[in-house]
Copies of this chain bind each other. A is one copy, B any other.
Amino acid sequence: MTGRLFVIGTGPGNPDQMTPEARRAVEASTAFFGYFPYLDRLDLRPDQVKVASDNREELSRAEAALARAAAGEAVCVVSGGDPGVFAMAAAVCEAIDAGPAEWKTVDLTVVPGVTAMLAVAARIGAPLGHDFCAISLSDNLKPWDVIEKRLRLVAEAGLVIALYNPISKARPWQLGRAFALLREILPAATPVVFGRAAGRPDERMLVMPLGEAEAERADMATCVVIGSPETRTIARPGLPDLVYTPRFYREPSR
């Protein structure tokens, strides 16, 4: 007997930004696995059970959810944002890949959501309006020299850069190092957006030029978006600046 496994994204944390498809998956499930604060976003019925766990326990969480689904239950693994971007969908696939044969036949549905960089971009204008990338600054799962190499190459490519996991207590220096490295390649005036908790009551959006960007402006709830040389800022009287990247590419004028 085989149950179902949903892997959903709640969106950035504003209930209005969670899709009906994700809400339906929640209604259809009886056991919920996820990081505490993401599970807290859900209003569950008395018959629905939460199994909360901490950060960095993603693989064992995925295994526990798969075991329960394989035993016949409708199970929901809950990510913030989109489950496919630096989140639980990859952990579930890793567990399926390495796990017992019956996990491969679990009825798996990944439900997409609004990932943080999209919510941040929307609140500030359109910084992701042209070619961009998303890079996790966490060196828990990849060596720091790989991160540096990637940052250099994408900056040379002229892509806008969205940084996920920019900073934490255990990783205090990485974002400052990334800014220093990018200052060697990008103009000092390049806008940097610190988008914290976009769409939630404690939202805070801040824009600084790369030349002055300070890592301390970010925390674990922040997605940092670094413009390309094309990215522009629009001053608006009485309103916050807009930051956007035009759809067209202008040849450098030097």
Chain A interfacial positions (CB closer than 8 Å to B):
11, 14-21, 24, 58, 82-87, 89-94, 96-97, 104-105, 108, 110-115, 118-119, 121-123, 125-136, 141-143, 146, 149-150, 153-154, 156-159, 232, 234-239, 242, 244-249, 251
A–B Cβ pairs within 8 angstroms, 5 of them: A19-B19, A82-B114, A84-B127, A90-B130, A153-B157
Is B158 in contact with A247, judged by CB distance below 8 angstroms? Answer: no
State the oligomeric state as a number of copies: 2
Decide if the interface of chain A is mainly helix, strand, loop or mixed. mixed
Q: How far is the CA of A219 from the CA of B63 in the complex (A)?
A: 38
Q: Closest CB of chain B to A246's CB: distance in Å?
A: 6
Is B11 in contact with A19, judged by CB distance below 8 angstroms? Answer: yes
Is A239 in contact with B105, judged by CB distance below 8 angstroms? Answer: yes
Select from chain B the residue with minimum beta-carbon distance to A150: B157
Is B125 in contact with A110, judged by CB distance below 8 angstroms? Answer: yes
Select from chain B the residue with minimum beta-carbon distance to A245: B90
In the bound complex, residues from chain B placing their C-beta under 8 Å from that of A87 are: 129
Q: A19-B17, A91-B247, A239-B104 are in contact. Are A122 and B83 (CB under 8 A)?
A: yes
| Given A84-B126, A153-B153, 19 further pairs, Cβ under 8 A | A16-B20, A18-B20, A82-B114, A83-B126, A86-B129, A86-B247, A90-B247, A93-B234, A93-B246, A104-B237, A105-B237, A112-B118, A112-B122, A114-B114, A130-B142, A131-B150, A132-B134, A133-B133, A143-B249
In the bound complex, residues from chain B placing their C-beta under 8 Å from that of A110 are: 121-123, 125-126
In the bound complex, residues from chain B placing their C-beta under 8 Å from that of A131 are: 133-136, 150
In the bound complex, residues from chain B placing their C-beta under 8 Å from that of A92 are: 126
In the bound complex, residues from chain B placing their C-beta under 8 Å from that of A125 are: 89, 93, 110
In the bound complex, residues from chain B placing their C-beta under 8 Å from that of A96 are: 234, 242
Is A141 in contact with B248, judged by CB distance below 8 angstroms? Answer: yes
Q: How far is the CA of A248 from the CA of B139 in the complex (A)?
A: 9
